[in-house]
């Protein structure tokens, strides 16, 4: 991975220069937003104030709030914290920079790429279930990361964008027509509270593989709202990897906006102890001949809990849409729990749409087979869980993005390669 | 003096309330191949799974002595480490786990504390076994039994046997569902395992495999009991007559 980190140092120093002008407000109010956003274009300040209004209008969730009922909020502090800038380290190879690939703080991109940034920010929307917190992130983000892969450019190396501190990370990736890219957005924040927003825009006939990796600290409450828009003939492959946080709640939304657009949505959760994961996904078919395929898997140990709610929307007129959704949960301990709920909203008549969900322990026959070859229960379970995840990683189809993740759940693989 | 590897004494086995094995006595000596034949539903597969320690079956009476000690309380993985191997009739698929990774874990389980198995040694072990069974080494990169044909699954079971070199190999209908070429390859695998050190219990419905692997003894299992024993000629007799005369004989007693 040496080649992809070449220009990291350079970008990091850019980031520090920029952040010198930022400071944290004393409290969350309209005046604080004015102070945070001094010097920004009027349209952006309007967006921020609008979003802050929505944040204030939505009440703090309780375990009786729709979309939150299955979570245990007694031990999770979901009260927002004051904004701290989220500085991404972004690695882009020099070869790709020469092709015009751009990675910079959003604040800087406002000067150099205002139309693209504006397009991305104007289309942002609040997540369905993390609406209050995504609205807050939209209002108070600072710094952030903007990545642009221009029309027709094929990335030679994946771009890794990593953030280790801050509270409201804002991420934008714009992939031009016919471009080809692989991008990983990795979160390692360890404060009490994080709410992030990611907007992904995939141009006509482009191909993007995007991984959203959440390895935050064990005490962190993490909200994430990801919204992707895919133009005609383009394909987006997304992976959501969840391993960190005490409670992580995510909206992952993909909209297929042009004819023939395709989306493969993959998810992989490895939960232990008392961790809670909640994923809400949207497969939005808004055009004809679109295809979406979703596979979210979780392995749950200890008394971890996973909630999955998946919506497939096929708009009237989105004929010949093909949608598939599967959620598979492996319970590794008696105290672990998984809730899964598919939802279909189909208005077109000529479509194919199927879904399936499973929740259960490791297959007894598999365990016996491995035991009959001398493996004890621990090794056998570990191997079966690795296999359970490998299936998802294979579907991502880009080892450069998935290989670093394997060591999270299969540390021994490191020594063997 | 014959060195007895396995001694089954008046074994009774139940699944739920149903008694499937109803008093089996069987001794297998080192260096020998025993064939256990019988019609469907006679308890052949049950016996093989009980020998490996499947938790679904309850031994209600009798004992299984392996190399001088009872193994009834021994969990399946320890039986494996002690040298017992079962080639499954229907081996499980383990999606996402490559044959290579699976075999490495299998070997590491029995070499705890030893010098680590070098990648070169590991590769040569597997390549040698694969060559004997005409298996394309590419299979090592495929996921265990995932999308394998019936014949491929049987060959992978044989591959594991040849790599692990078990003291006692129990082959549960490894010959069923194979065409003649595949059958010959499986037979070669069994012959490669045959040695003065090893014992083999070959469980089969048909006599066909015994044209290629000559057993030292043949036992016939019907309704959970061994009803007839003999030399290789017994298998030929069964091939001619089928199991019906034996079953009728039992009914009239």
Residue A144, pLDDT score: 95
B-chain CB neighbours of A388 within 8 Å are 95-96
Contact between A364 and B96 using a beta-carbon 8 Å cutoff: no
Contact between B80 and A363 using a beta-carbon 8 Å cutoff: no
- pLDDT tens digit sequence for A149-181: 999 999 999 999 999 999 999 999 999 999 999
Residue A412's pLDDT band (boundaries 50, 70, 90)?
low
CA-angle at A35, arms to A29 and A37, nearest 5° = 105
Residue A237 β-bridge partners: A209, A264
B-chain CB neighbours of A365 within 8 Å are 92
Contact between A366 and B92 using a beta-carbon 8 Å cutoff: yes
Residue A238: which H helix or E strand, with range? strand A235-242
Q: Following DSSP, what letter does each residue of chain B receive, concatenated?
A: ---EEEEEEEEEEEETTEEEEEEEEEEEETT-EEEEE--TTSSHHHHHHHHHT-TT-EEEEEEEEETTEE-TTS-HHHHHHTTEEEE-SSPPPEEEEEHHHHHHHHHHHT-TTSSPPPHHHHHHHHHHHHHHTT--GGGGGSEETTT--HHHHHHHHHHHHHHH--SEEEEESTTTT--HHHHHHHHHHHHHH--TT-EEEEEES-SGGGGTS--SEEEEEETTEEEEEESHHHHHHHHHH-SHHHHHHHHH-
Q: Residue-wise over A116-128: b if at least 16 C-beta within 10 A, else e? A: bbeebbeebbbbb
Q: What sign does the CA torsion over A36, A42, A44, A50 have? A: positive
What CA–CA distances, in Å, run from A121 to A10, A82, A176, A203, A222?
26, 22, 17, 16, 21
Total length of chain B:
253
Q: In chain B, whose CA is at the least distance from the CA of A416?
A: B119
- Distance from the B53 Cα atom to the nearest Cα atom in chain A, whole angstroms: 8
Contact between B52 and A372 using a beta-carbon 8 Å cutoff: yes
B-chain CB neighbours of A389 within 8 Å are 96
B-chain CB neighbours of A373 within 8 Å are 77, 80, 102, 105-106, 109, 160, 164
CA separation for the pair A388, A268 (Å, rounded): 10
Residue A397, pLDDT score: 95
Residue A410, pLDDT score: 67
The answer to whether the CB of B91 falls within 8 A of the CB of B47 is no
Contact between A368 and B92 using a beta-carbon 8 Å cutoff: yes
Q: Tokens representing A200?
A: 């992904």
B-chain CB neighbours of A390 within 8 Å are 95-97, 143
- Distance from the B96 Cα atom to the nearest Cα atom in chain A, whole angstroms: 4
> Within a 13 Å sphere around the CA of A206, how many CA atoms are in the beta-carbon half?
30
Which positions ≥6 away from B113 have C-beta within 8 Å?
none
The answer to whether the CB of A387 falls within 8 A of the CB of B96 is yes
For chain B, what is the mean pLDDT? Answer: 93
Residue A148 β-bridge partners: A102, A174
Chain B contact probe: residue of A371, A391, A395, A405 with most B CBs at under 10 A: A371
Checking if the pLDDT of A6 tops 90, the result is: no
Residue B206's pLDDT band (boundaries 50, 70, 90)?
confident
B-chain CB neighbours of A364 within 8 Å are 55
- pLDDT tens digit sequence for B33-59: 999 999 989 999 999 999 999 999 999
Checking if the pLDDT of A5 tops 90, the result is: no
Residue A4, pLDDT score: 38
What CA–CA distances, in Å, run from B180 to B51, B125, B206, B211?
29, 27, 13, 11
Checking if the pLDDT of B2 tops 70, the result is: no
- Number of A–B residue contacts, CB under 8 Å: 82
- pLDDT tens digit sequence for A384-403: 999 999 999 999 999 999 99
Domain ranges of chain A: 2-257, 362-417
Return the SS3 of A214: strand
CA separation for the pair B57, B24 (Å, rounded): 15
Query: Phi/psi class of residue B242: alpha, beta or left (left: φ > 0; alpha: ψ in -120 to 50)?
Result: left
Q: What sign does the CA torsion over A400, A157, A297, A80 have? A: positive
Checking if the pLDDT of A18 tops 80, the result is: no
Checking if the pLDDT of A15 tops 70, the result is: no
Contact between A366 and B88 using a beta-carbon 8 Å cutoff: no
Contact between B94 and A372 using a beta-carbon 8 Å cutoff: no
Checking if the pLDDT of A199 tops 90, the result is: yes
What CA–CA distances, in Å, run from B67 to A179, A242, B3?
67, 49, 9
Please name the member of B80, B94, B97 whose beta carbon is closest to the beta carbon of A374. Answer: B80
Residue A13's pLDDT band (boundaries 50, 70, 90)?
very low
B-chain CB neighbours of A417 within 8 Å are none
CA separation for the pair B131, B15 (Å, rounded): 40
Chain A contact probe: residue of B45, B56, B78, B97 with most A CBs at under 10 A: B97
Residue B1, pLDDT score: 45
CA separation for the pair A53, A71 (Å, rounded): 26
Checking if the pLDDT of B159 tops 80, the result is: yes
The answer to whether the CB of A305 falls within 8 A of the CB of A338 is yes
Q: In chain A, whose CA is at the least distance from the CA of B102?
A: A383
Nearest partner of B34 among B235, B224, B184, B182, judged by Cα: B235
- pLDDT tens digit sequence for B94-125: 999 999 999 999 999 988 766 677 888 898 99
Checking if the pLDDT of A416 tops 50, the result is: no
| Residues on B contacting A at a C-beta cutoff of 8 Å | 52-55, 75-77, 79-81, 85-86, 88, 91-97, 101-102, 104-106, 109-110, 143, 160, 164
A-chain CB neighbours of B52 within 8 Å are 368, 372
**Residue A2 DSSP class:** G
Total length of chain A:
417
- pLDDT tens digit sequence for A319-355: 999 999 999 999 999 999 999 998 899 999 999 999 9
- For A400, list phi and psi in degrees, rounded to 5: -60, -30
| Domains (range + CATH), chain B | 4-252 (3.40.50.300)
CA separation for the pair A227, A254 (Å, rounded): 6
Residue B32 neighbours by CB distance under 10 Å: 19
Q: Rounded mean pLDDT of A99-116?
A: 94
Please name the member of B54, B96, B102 whose beta carbon is closest to the beta carbon of A368. Answer: B54
**Residue A132 DSSP class:** H
Please name the member of B54, B97, B110 whose beta carbon is closest to the beta carbon of A374. Answer: B110
Which strands make up the sheet holding B18-29, listed edge to edge?
B18-29, B4-15, B58-66, B69-70
Please name the member of B91, B95, B164 whose beta carbon is closest to the beta carbon of A369. Answer: B91
Return the SS3 of A138: helix
CA separation for the pair A46, A5 (Å, rounded): 37
Residue B240, pLDDT score: 87
Please name the member of B75, B88, B94 whose beta carbon is closest to the beta carbon of A384. Answer: B94
Residue A11: which H helix or E strand, with range? helix A8-19
The answer to whether the CB of A7 falls within 8 A of the CB of A94 is yes
- Distance from the B228 Cα atom to the nearest Cα atom in chain A, whole angstroms: 30
Residue B244, pLDDT score: 87
Percentage, residues of chain A above pLDDT 90: 80
Please name the member of B88, B93, B109 whose beta carbon is closest to the beta carbon of A374. Answer: B109
The answer to whether the CB of A105 falls within 8 A of the CB of A160 is no
A-chain CB neighbours of B102 within 8 Å are 370, 373, 383
B-chain CB neighbours of A375 within 8 Å are 77, 105-106, 109
The answer to whether the CB of A295 falls within 8 A of the CB of A397 is no
Residue A139 neighbours by CB distance under 10 Å: 25
The answer to whether the CB of B27 falls within 8 A of the CB of B4 is yes
For chain A, what is the mean pLDDT? Answer: 90
Strands A145-149 and A102-104: antiparallel
Contact between B77 and A375 using a beta-carbon 8 Å cutoff: yes
What CA–CA distances, in Å, run from A87 to A52, A84, A196, A200?
22, 9, 12, 18
Contact between A368 and B76 using a beta-carbon 8 Å cutoff: yes
CA separation for the pair A78, A221 (Å, rounded): 7
Tracing tokens 């189909």 back to the chain, one arrives at: A346
The answer to whether the CB of A9 falls within 8 A of the CB of A63 is no
Cα dihedral angle (B136, B140, B141, B146), rounded to 10 degrees?
Answer: 90
Checking if the pLDDT of A318 tops 50, the result is: yes
State yes or no: ipTM above 0.90. Answer: yes
| Residues on A contacting B at a C-beta cutoff of 8 Å | 363-366, 368-377, 379-380, 383-384, 386-391, 394, 416
């Amino acid at each position: 991975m040496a080649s992809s980190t070449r220009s990291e140092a350079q970008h990091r120093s850019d980031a520090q220069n920029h952040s010198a002008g930022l400071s944290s407000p004393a409290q969350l109010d309209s005046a604080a937003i004015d102070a945070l956003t001094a010097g920004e274009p009027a349209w952006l300040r309007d967006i921020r104030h609008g979003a802050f209004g929505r944040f204030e209008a939505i009440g703090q969730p309780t375990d009786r709030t729709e979309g939150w009922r299955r979570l245990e909020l007694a031990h999770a502090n979901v009260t927002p914290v004051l904004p701290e800038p989220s500085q991404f380290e972004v690695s882009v190879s020099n070869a790709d920079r020469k092709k015009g690939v751009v990675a910079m703080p959003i604040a800087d991109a406002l000067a150099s790429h205002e139309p693209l940034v504006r397009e991305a920010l104007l289309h942002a929307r609040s997540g369905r279930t993390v609406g209050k917190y995504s609205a807050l992130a939209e209002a108070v983000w600072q710094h952030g990361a903007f990545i642009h892969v221009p029309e027709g450019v094929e990335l030679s190396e994946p771009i890794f964008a990593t953030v280790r501190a801050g509270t409201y990370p804002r991420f934008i990736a714009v992939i031009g027509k016919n471009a080809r890219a692989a991008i990983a957005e990795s979160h390692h924040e360890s404060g009490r509270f994080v709410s992030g927003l990611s907007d992904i825009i995939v141009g006509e006939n482009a191909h993007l593989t995007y991984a959203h990796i959440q390895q935050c600290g064990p005490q962190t409450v993490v909200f994430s709202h990801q919204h992707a828009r895919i133009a005609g003939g383009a394909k987006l492959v997304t992976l959501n990897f969840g391993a960190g946080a005490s409670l992580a709640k995510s909206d992952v939304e993909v909209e297929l906006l042009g004819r023939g657009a395709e989306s493969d949505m993959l998810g992989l959760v490895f939960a232990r102890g008392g961790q809670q994961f909640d994923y809400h996904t949207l497969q939005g078919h808004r055009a004809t001949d679109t295809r979406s395929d979703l596979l979210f898997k979780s392995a749950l140990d200890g008394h971890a809990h996973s909630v999955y709610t998946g919506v497939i929307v096929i708009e009237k007129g989105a004929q010949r849409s093909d949608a598939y959704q599967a959620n598979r949960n492996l319970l590794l301990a008696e105290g672990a729990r998984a809730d899964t709920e598919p939802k279909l909203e189909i208005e077109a008549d000529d479509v194919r749409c199927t879904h399936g969900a499973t929740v259960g322990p490791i297959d007894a026959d598999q365990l016996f087979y491995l035991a009959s070859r001398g493996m004890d229960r621990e090794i056998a379970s570990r191997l079966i869980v690795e296999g359970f995840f490998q299936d998802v990683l294979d579907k991502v189809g880009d080892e450069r993005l998935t290989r670093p993740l394997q060591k999270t759940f299969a540390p021994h693989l490191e020594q063997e390669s | 003096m014959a060195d007895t590897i396995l001694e089954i004494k008046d074994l009774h086995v139940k699944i739920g309330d149903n008694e499937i094995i109803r008093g089996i006595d069987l001794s297998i000596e080192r260096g020998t191949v025993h064939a256990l034949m019988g019609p469907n539903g006679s308890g052949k597969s049950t016996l093989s799974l009980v020998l490996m320690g499947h938790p679904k079956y309850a031994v209600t009476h009798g004992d299984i002595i392996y190399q001088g000690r009872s193994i009834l309380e021994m969990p399946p993985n320890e039986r494996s480490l002690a040298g017992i191997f079962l080639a499954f009739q229907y081996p499980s698929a383990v999606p996402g786990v490559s044959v290579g990774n699976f075999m490495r874990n299998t070997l590491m389980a029995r070499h705890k504390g030893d010098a680590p198995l070098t990648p070169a040694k590991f590769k040569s072990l597997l390549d040698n076994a694969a060559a004997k069974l005409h298996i394309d080494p590419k299979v090592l990169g495929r996921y265990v039994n995932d999308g394998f044909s019936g014949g491929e699954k049987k060959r992978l079971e044989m591959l594991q046997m040849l790599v692990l070199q078990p003291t006692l190999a129990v082959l549960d209908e490894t010959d069923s569902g194979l065409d003649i070429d595949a059958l010959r390859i499986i037979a070669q695998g069994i012959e490669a395992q045959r040695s003065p050190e090893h014992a083999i219990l070959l469980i089969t419905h048909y006599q066909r495999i015994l044209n290629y692997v000559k057993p030292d003894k043949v036992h016939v299992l019907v309704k959970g009991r061994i009803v007839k024993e003999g030399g290789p000629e017994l298998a030929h007799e069964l091939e001619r007559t089928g199991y019906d005369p034996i079953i009728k004989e039992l009914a009239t007693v």
